[in-house]
Each structure stands twice: as C-alpha cells, then as structure tokens.
Structure 1
Amino acid sequence: MPDPSPTIRERRIAIELRRLREQTGLTLDQAAERLRWSRATLGRVETAVRRIKPAELQRLLNVYKVDGRHRDDLVELARDARERGWWHRYTDTLPAAYATYIALEADARSLHCYDALVVHGLLQTEDYAREVIRAGLMQLASDSQVEQRVEVRLNRQALLTERDPPLQLWCVIDENTLRRMIGGARVMRAQYARLVEMAELPNVTIQVLPHRAGAHPGVEGTFAILEFPERFMPDVGYIEALNAALYVEDPAHVDAYSRVFDHLVAEALGIVDSATMLRRLAEEETKEGLDDR
C-alpha cells in the first residue's frame, strides 16, 4: 500500500503554488473557478493533502503565468516528488522531526552550521557518533536501536562524497566542542583526523572558533542554515532540541542567523590555522595516550 503522507518535495510544491496564486492576486475561489476545480480541491493541493498530477500542474502554471526557469524547476521537482529517500526505510524508528531534517538536508545545495556542543553529524566518525547517540539521544535504547541510528548518521554522510553535485558544507566548530572528551582519547584522535581529512574536500570548509574569541554572536548555541537549489525555495534555519526541532522559515529571522554565521566565520581561525589546530589536538591526545601507558 503506498504511503499517503506527503514528501518534503510535495510540501514545497504546495507552498510555492499557494505563493504563486497569492502573487497573482487570485483568491482560492477565483483560481479554482479558472481551473474549473472545486475550491476544496485546490485547497487540498495547496496543503499537500492531494497529490497534483503533471497535467494539472501545467494548467496551474498557465493560470499563474509562470514560465521559463521557474516553471522548469517546478515541473522537475514535481516529477520526482514521490521519490522516497534512503531514510524512508527507517521512518518507523526515526523521530518525525529528525526524518524531516534528513529530507531537507538531502535536498539542500549548501549547509552552513555552527557546532557548539558536538561535531556535526556529517563529519562524525562511527565511534564518535555511537558515543554521542548512546549518551545524548538514546540512553534507554537497546544496542540494536543505537546501531540503527548510527547507520542512519553514516548514510547521511554520502551527501559530501557520493552525491552529484555534493553538498557544500561550511562548519564553524567551537573549540569547546573539540576539547570535549567523547569516547576517550582513541575516539577523539580518530575524530580529529576525520575532520582534517574532510576539510581537504573542495566542498567542505571547517573553521575552529577559539577560546580567545570570548563572547560572540553564537553563544546561544548550535544552529544550521540550509540553502536549496530552487530559486523559489527560501533558506531554512534549523535549531535542534532534545526531543524536538525548530525550523526558522521567516526570511528576516533566517537572515539574522546568516549574519550571525558571517560574524562567527570572521572571528574563527582561518582554514589553514584551523587544520593546524586539529592536527595539534590529535598529537596532544596521542602524547597523553603514550604517557598513560
């Protein structure tokens, strides 16, 4: 039996169709009359309750006078709208907010993030991810549930190396995050090495925000900004909480987070100096490990 719930792409199409109608100056009744649809039918399309067919989409775009690149983007998005991502097989066990984020991340062109607590999931090693998930997210879960969540996290990382084009990732990582001992020295050495390795990819930028930066605009905590390839899809801010997530969609609020990120980039170490610090941290853990023998 097909899954009746709308995908992220279908929701995005519905939101854009409503915006286009309002931009055209048509009420729901007026647009429905021109289409010879019922008001309820168009309302269900605009809320992603009813899946729109290709021919119907073309008629809507004609009524709203949409052409050129914008039209092509919408038609292409609609063509693949019911495609389910790899994470769909985990939806019975994933929190709805997390599944929604994964879908948005998979569609994003770029992701800018500030990590104040733990290394971003796209950059975590398997062992580091396991420690974070077990300790911070799933303390009462079984080992098999923890391992399944680790598998999901590792699968997400294909966006950086296997997708064409790859996700453009820019992370500013607080020095406190890097010095937080998660899983012991061995796990941290491997995590530092992973960060150095990933920073060498052309689509990945990693900067370290050092202690000496003092108070800064990101003191309220971790956040991410997702940018999408479609011109009609606005950027989305994402703030993760313990059992929920906050999506920031108002353009003014997203812009505020973008400006905070720009400030953090300016206050962080440069790319070369950040890589040098990561290597030094790895060497410190190696030395301490030898001293403890």
Structure 2
Amino acid sequence: MRKRPQARDRIIGARLRAIRTERVGLSQEQAADLAQWPPARLSRTERGLRAVTNEEVATLLTAWKLPLADRERLLQEMRVGASSGWWDRPLPGVPQEVGALASYESEAHELVSVSLTVIPGLLQTYETAVGVFRADGGPSEDFETGWMARLRRQQILGKVTYMAYISETALRTPYGGSRDAVRNQLGHLLAAQDRGITVRVIPAHQTRVTTFHPFILMRFPHADPVVHVEVTGGAFYVSDDAVVPFASIVTRLGRLALSQRETRTIILRLMEGL
C-alpha cells in the first residue's frame, strides 16, 4: 500500500514544479511525456497529493535533462535528509522567490502575511524592493532579477484571498529612499485596499503579541496549511502541528491590528507628512 503524502512531499512537489517551469521551461504535458509518466501523476506529485520517492525525483530530473552536477547535488542532499534540504535552496537561474514559495502561493486559496520591518514582498513597489535587496547586502547586479521574480509573484494577487498585517515600523521605514518613492509605496498600499486586498497595521510599541520573524501562512483547498518563515540569509517551511503557533499569532493580530479604515487613516497621515 502506498504511503500517504506528508509535508515533505508537498515541499518537494512545489520545488519540482519550480524546476520544471523556471529552470527547464517545460509544460506539464511535455515534462510528463519526457519522463513517460501520465500527466495526472505529475500533476498530483507537484501538488503534493502523493508520496514521492527519491527514485521518482531522479527519474524526473534526468528526463528533464537537468545538468548532471545540479542533479547529483540535489539527489545527494535529498538522500542524506538534511534538515535544510534541497527543496529549500535556490538553483542557479531560479530565484528562490519564484521557486517553492511561488508554487505554494499559486496553489493556495488564502495567504496571510505578517511583516515586521519591511512592506511584504507581494505589496512592494520597485523602489522599495530594490532598497530591501540593498539592505540585505545582495550584489547590485542581482537587483533586477530579484525584482522580476517578486513582480511575478505579485501576479497571484486578485486570484487568492490575501491579507497583510504590517507593522507601523515598516510603514515608517523609508526603504524606497526618496520622498516620492516612499509616497508611491504608501499609495500602492491604499490602491491595494481599493482592489479588495486586506491591509491592516500593527500598532507601534504594542506589547500584546510577540513574533520574531516575518512569515506567510498559506491555506489550501485540499491540503493542510504551510507557513513560510523568513530568517537571516534565507527561509524555511513549517507544517503539521508546527503551524499552530503561527495560526494563533494571526488570530491574535486580528484582534489587535488597526481596522482597514484606521489603517487607511494612518497611511494618509504619513503621506501628508512627506
């Protein structure tokens, strides 16, 4: 009897989808044909709806002609079962933002973002994104690629229920640099509200809810929730029982954060002060 899919299978499936679409540029039908798989089997694998073996991953990566060095490295990491496995790591030419995270976001029906020091990536303007990349210490030649990856992720807005809890500190931190850039970012948040996106501000200096890392809680129609947690130098995913504390934080922020109307008021006041 085949094993039931686990959280690991959802992560691997999302990463396989990222490799297929971003690295080797194959449609699902083309990729399944190369591997001599039924398309439905590949679809279920990418969506994390079936348990996937190391041998199956090897078959797919070989059939898709992923370069040998990349293929061997990924499979070795998968075999040793490192806690930060191959599915958490970007491949050359595949920005992490459009890898597993983008695949997850495309399958979700609800996303809840909690952002502490910066505007969440799905709501950033170009100037803010570049300012964040620069503050992260990344090489300037990667800024445009990073922005295009982020812009691509933003295309999910309008197709999924999205709510953003943003700290007041993030609103007041001028990553965009110039006054015009900061004003454009604040206006972008107001425009997001106008498009039906929920944006709520976490008051500055509040002491009722503590969270140490920004995260995105992702809920799916036919699978358990997954949380993407950002940390210095990267990110990781949590699932199953480990999701519970994050869901609790979201519930508590729902009671603490300013309403949509109050959020709009504070953003307008910040814009007037620029």
Deviation at 1:43? 4.7
Question: Which residue in the other structure is 2:17 paired with?
Answer: 7
Deviation at 1:219? 3.2
Q: Deviations over 1:105-156 (max 9, x none)?
A: 2222111011001101110111111111122251xx243x211111111121
Q: Residues 46-57 of structure 1 correspond to what in structure 2 (within 5 A)?
A: 48-50=57-59
Deviation at 1:272? 0.6
Q: Residues 241-260 of structure 1 correspond to what in structure 2 (within 5 A)?
A: 241-250=231-240, 252-260=241-249
Q: Could you tell me the percent identity over the aligned residues? A: 24
Closer, same or farther: CA 234–180 of 1 in aligned 2, 3 Å: same
Question: Which residue in the other structure is 1:118 paired with?
Answer: 118
Question: Which residue in the other structure is 2:226 paired with?
Answer: 236
Residue type of the alignment partner of 2:102:
I
Asked if the contact 1:123/1:194 (under 8 Å) is kept, the reply is yes
Question: Which residue in the other structure is 2:170 paired with?
Answer: 177
Q: Which moves more between the two structures, 275-284 or 217-226?
A: 217-226
Is 2:266 the counterpart of 1:272? no
Question: Which residue in the other structure is 1:60 paired with?
Answer: none
Structure 2 distance, partners of 1:43, 1:220, is: 35
Closer, same or farther: CA 219–96 of 1 in aligned 2, 3 Å: closer
Asked if the contact 1:225/1:235 (under 8 Å) is kept, the reply is yes
Deviation at 1:242? 2.6
Larger radius of gyration: 1
Question: Which residue in the other structure is 2:102 paired with?
Answer: 102
Structure 1 distance, partners of 2:96, 2:144, is: 19
Task: Show structure 1 runs of 5+ residues with no match.
Answer: 19-41, 52-89, 286-293
1:159 match: secondary structure: coil
Residue type of the alignment partner of 1:253:
A
- State the number of aligned residues: 206
Deviation at 1:263? 0.5
Structure 2 distance, partners of 1:271, 1:223, is: 20
Q: Deviations over 1:33-81 (max 9, x none)?
A: xxxxxxxxx8557x64556xxxxxxxxxxxxxxxxxxxxxxxxxxxxxx
Deviation at 1:97? 7.4
Find the partner of 2:143 among 127, 142, 146: 146
Task: Show structure 2 runs of 5+ residues with no match.
Answer: 1-14, 19-42, 61-89
Find the partner of 1:206 among 199, 217, 220: 199
Asked if the contact 2:44/2:50 (under 8 Å) is kept, the reply is no
How does the TM-score come out when normalised to structure 2?
A: 0.67
Q: Deviations over 1:213-246 (max 9, x none)?
A: x2133331311101122x2x21101111232211
Asked if the contact 2:128/2:181 (under 8 Å) is kept, the reply is yes
Residue type of the alignment partner of 1:6:
L
Question: Which residue in the other structure is 1:196 paired with?
Answer: 190
